[in-house]
Amino acid sequence: LSIEALRARGITIWGVAFVGEGNADSEQTICRIGKVRHLGRLPVLDPLEPATLARAFAAGISL
């Protein structure tokens, strides 16, 4: 869902995690306009499995 849709439903947004190659300008704009934290980046995972996701999350996401 979009940031606006989440907020309209009363859902607390801790921040945004981006996936794949970075685009600093777009990410900064999304975070600034959406008033959300940039939590980090995850790579595209293939295969997407619990263990690979857990490792990527630990390495790339800052809560």
Total of domains in the chain: 1
Output the pLDDT for position 26. 96
Predicted pLDDT of residue 21: 94
CA distances from 30 to 2, 18, 59 (A): 11, 11, 22
CA distance 55 to 2: 26
User: CA 25: distance to chain centroid?
Assistant: 15
Q: In whole angstroms, what is the distance from residue 24 CA to residue 2 CA?
A: 19
Range of the domain at 38: 3-60
Consecutive 10-residue averages of pLDDT for the chain (63 residues):
93 96 96 97 95 95 91
pLDDT at 63: 86
